[in-house]
Structure 1
Amino acid sequence: MKPVLSKQTLRNVFEGKATPLQKTLVEQWLEDPENQELYFQWLEEWECDNLQFIPDAASAYTRSLQIQPSAGNAPDTYPLNRPKRLYRWVAAAVLFLAMIGVYSLRDRLYYERYTTKFGEIRTVTLPDSSRVTLNANTLLEVPRFDVNPKVREVRLTGEAEFSVKHTADHRRFIVRTPDQLEVQVLGTEFTVYSRAKGSKVFLNKGRVQVRSLANQASAPLVIAPGDLVEVSKQGNFQVHHHQSATVHTAWKENRFVFENTPLSEIASQLNEQFGVHIIVADSALAQRTIGGTFKAQNADELLPILSDMLNMTVNQREGQPKTYQLTSAP
């Protein structure tokens, strides 16, 4: 049974009044990603009610060393003060570790996180009325505080389609990815893909500028509607013109569009979309291609179709419910 916590329990943690049992319950409660957003909301409320300061623990400890024993203390009782000094050391260490913990969580405090699970598609509306549709297995981070009057900036890991709202003050909209790709727009519709194997940007409407911060020698590139830009790990651009929007936005309707796509690439797409592990038995099978549009909400709906079309067998590994091995049919 999942632990249920009250706001007061978390306030006790923030104020350092929590019992060991309460701290354990909070740790278990935070293992559920759905509770983490609520945690930071309540933390923000508590911080607004309790303005914090950063104590100078080092100076405090130095002053404590200068405190002399009272006249009534006999020399042989003075060592009894040593545990107090030890307590100050422990208190300073705990405070220091707490400050490190807050610093390590600064991104979670500053950014609101929108996530999707495998097989899930989600649309969110940003504070500026821009809309973002997240593909499966995607993370979008949006600043909680509007501190930059010139730029709206978000961070993306995964794949998403952006419909950016133009603002009266002409604020730029920037998308950043883990491989230091920067996509900058004013008002447009585009799709950004950023996963382990690389990044790419497809422009549906308007104009965008892409720039790789990982390659300072690469000049910013402005692309037009229908352009697809693939970004290598070294930050180099490869542009493909006159691309079909259907291919790059079909995932919003749980559709896969293949155009002479090799099975190896199809397996990679299914792995990313549904969190499965597909093993292609040999290189010859991996190079077989297929074309067409297929709708599927999980791997089990698509694999039988591919099996018939590519003359192969699909075997689910025993004891591994999400692992499939593809082999050529005899």
Structure 2
Amino acid sequence: MTPEMRDRLRPFRDEATARGIPADDVERWSATVRPCATLRRDGDGDGDGDGDGPVVGRFGGPLMLPADIPDPSHPFVASIDLAALPADATDLPLPPDGRLLLFAFPETAGDSETMGSVVYVPVGTAVTERDRDAWNSFDFEDYAAMFKAFPQGPLRATADVSLPWHHAVERAERPGSGPLPGHPRSEELVAAWGRTRSGIAPEGPLQIGGYADEEAICTDPVSVAVSRAVRAAEAGGWDGPVSADVSDWVLLADWYAGMDVEGWESSTVHWVIQREDLAARRFDRAFTSVFSNP
């Protein structure tokens, strides 16, 4: 934890202490902090800091892809200019430049398929404009209307801090869940973060790195995504190899689709990737999991 991170977390630590949580528990939880980049459109949120950061990409816009990349099977969400991200905005080993394109269908289907994809376009790569509706080959009108409701416009980035929103892990030895290992007061600490987060790192519709969040959260959404990736690989719906160890994975990005798309108010899209795939820039190996509470 850098001195700047520690200073930014002061309101959280004060709130946790006021709730009677022992100092050791507060410090152990604070040490889990991760940097992240929060991306917002002008006018998003409550106005506090909106539009202050550099433009690092956009929601929607033309779909520009290399000729050897097939038409994606999911709708186009956003493109990120990695060179424009603030320095050290995340702790992910992202390429220093090029564009990251995110695709997703913000609805749950089955537990054995990915609901999106990621394409990395290095600097200098020749690209051509594609049909943004090619994913909807059957021309389903309802889905076409949903895609038209996807957000559009430039995205500005703010370097933020992120603490876990999940407070429990599934217990193998008996049904149910328990507090995060090493953090017996995890549920109370998450509540303290929820009380203070808006004044420390206000949320935006898109987040790069950090911890995953969703409407109804208990266990880590990344762990859910990993279990789905394992099942998808076993069912032949996604190429392996796949590690079942959550520590081998990271959150690449979160999209709170419910902020923008009518009818999907509870939906959150999680793009996750294995650490070794990220280091090797194999973004085609990212897996997309969606939380939806219809």
Give the TM bin, normalised by the shorter chain. Answer: under 0.3
Which one has the bigger strand percentage? 1
Greater length-normalized contact order (CA 8 Å, ≥ 6 residues apart): 2
Which one has the bigger helix percentage? 1
Q: TM-score, normalised by structure 2?
A: 0.26
Q: TM-score, normalised by structure 1?
A: 0.24
The structure with the largest alpha-carbon Rg is 1
